[in-house]
C-alpha cells in the first residue's frame, strides 16, 4: 500500500485552450472543474465566472466551443459546453495527475491536484517538460488531519479553502481589520481581484450550505 499522496500545483501558459484564450480578451478569473475527455475526442467543460456578459460573448464566438449553456446566479454565471479538442492537462492526467481544480486568468491556467507517490510525480514532471509552458509551482504532502474534509463539507474548491484559511490565519476577518485584501493576495501569490473573487465564491458556497 502507498501511504504518501502529494498535492501539486502547476501553472500552464501557451495552451491553446478556449478558456485560456477567453481570459486574454476579458480580464476575469474563471474557476473550472476538471475537464472530462469523451471517447469522441470532445471535452466537457464546466466552469464559472463573474457576471460579465463580455465573457459569454467571447465564448459564444469561439468556433472550438459547442452547445454553450449559461446559468445566471446572484453572484455570477455558470457555464457548460463542449470543446472540440483536448487541453494539455489531459496529457498529465494520462500519466497519473488527479485534477481537483483549475483557475484561468491572463491567458493561462493554474491547476491543482494530487499524485500518488514520488514515482508518479516524476512521471508527471517528465510529461510536463514535454508540453507547452508548464511549471511546477509547489508540491506538498496531502493533509491527513480533520481539516482535509473542510472543503468537501462546505462545497469549497481547494483554492477557495486555501484562500479562506490563509485570510483567517493572517487576521483578515479580525475587527478592527489590520490586514488588507492585497496583503492576503500577496501571501497567496495571486492578484487582489483573484483573491476577492475566490472569497466571494467561497462565501456564496458557505451561505448556500447554511441557508439551503
Please answer whether residues 64 and 81 qualify as being in contact, where contact means their C-beta atoms are separated by less than 8 angstroms. Answer: no
Q: What angle do CA 134, 36, 150 make, to 5 degrees?
A: 80
Domains and CATH numbers, the chain: 5-141 (no CATH), 146-211 (1.10.10)
Tell me how far CA of residue 141 lies from CA of 1, 5, 80, 113, 211, in angstroms: 16, 6, 32, 11, 34
pLDDT tops 50 at residue 149: no
pLDDT digits (tens, 9 = 90+) for 172-185: 888 888 889 999 98
Question: Could you tell me the pLDDT band of residue 146, with boundaries at 50, 70 and 90?
Answer: very low
Question: Could you tell me the pLDDT band of residue 57, with boundaries at 50, 70 and 90?
Answer: very high
Considering the chain, what percentage of its residues have pLDDT values greater than 90?
18
The single residue listed with the C-alpha cell 445566471 is 72
Please give the backbone phi and psi of residue 129, each rounded to the nearest 5 degrees, phi first. -65, -20
- Upstream peptide bond of 176 is cis (omega within 30 degrees of 0): yes
Separation between Cα atoms, residue 156 and residue 150, nearest integer Å: 8
Question: Could you tell me the pLDDT band of residue 151, with boundaries at 50, 70 and 90?
Answer: very low
pLDDT tops 80 at residue 140: no
Please answer whether residues 11 and 134 qualify as being in contact, where contact means their C-beta atoms are separated by less than 8 angstroms. Answer: yes
The whole-number pLDDT of residue 173 equals: 85
pLDDT tops 70 at residue 1: no
pLDDT tops 70 at residue 150: no
pLDDT digits (tens, 9 = 90+) for 18-28: 999 999 999 99
The beta-strand segments (E) located in 38-84 are: 43-49, 65-72, 77-83
Please answer whether residues 97 and 123 qualify as being in contact, where contact means their C-beta atoms are separated by less than 8 angstroms. Answer: no
Question: Could you tell me the pLDDT band of residue 62, with boundaries at 50, 70 and 90?
Answer: very high
Q: Which DSSP string corresponds to 130-152?
A: TSSSEEEEEEEEPP-SGGGGHHH
Question: Could you tell me the pLDDT band of residue 84, with boundaries at 50, 70 and 90?
Answer: confident
More confident residue, 80 or 127: 80
Separation between Cα atoms, residue 47 and residue 153, nearest integer Å: 20
Amino acid at each position: 500500500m502507498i501511504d504518501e499522496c502529494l498535492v501539486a500545483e502547476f501553472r500552464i501558459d501557451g495552451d491553446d485552450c478556449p478558456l485560456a484564450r477567453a481570459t486574454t480578451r476579458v480580464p476575469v478569473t474563471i474557476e473550472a472543474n476538471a475537464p472530462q475527455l469523451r471517447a469522441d475526442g470532445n471535452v466537457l467543460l464546466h466552469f464559472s465566472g463573474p457576471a460579465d456578459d463580455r465573457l459569454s460573448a467571447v465564448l459564444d464566438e469561439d468556433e472550438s466551443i459547442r452547445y454553450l449553456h449559461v446559468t445566471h446566479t446572484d453572484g455570477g454565471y455558470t457555464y457548460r459546453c463542449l470543446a472540440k479538442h483536448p487541453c494539455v492537462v489531459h496529457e498529465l492526467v494520462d500519466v497519473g495527475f488527479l485534477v481537483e481544480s483549475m483557475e484561468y486568468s491572463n491567458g493561462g491556467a493554474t491547476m491543482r491536484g494530487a499524485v500518488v507517490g514520488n514515482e508518479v510525480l516524476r512521471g508527471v514532471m517528465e510529461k510536463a517538460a514535454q508540453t507547452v509552458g508548464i511549471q511546477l509551482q509547489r508540491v506538498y504532502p496531502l493533509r491527513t488531519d480533520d481539516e482535509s474534509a473542510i472543503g468537501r463539507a462546505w462545497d469549497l474548491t481547494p483554492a477557495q479553502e486555501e484562500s479562506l484559511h490563509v485570510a483567517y490565519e493572517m487576521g483578515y476577518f479580525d475587527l478592527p481589520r489590520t490586514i488588507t485584501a492585497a496583503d492576503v493576495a500577496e501571501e497567496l501569490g495571486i492578484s487582489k481581484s483573484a483573491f476577492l473573487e475566490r472569497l466571494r465564491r467561497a462565501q456564496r458556497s458557505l451561505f448556500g450550505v447554511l441557508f439551503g
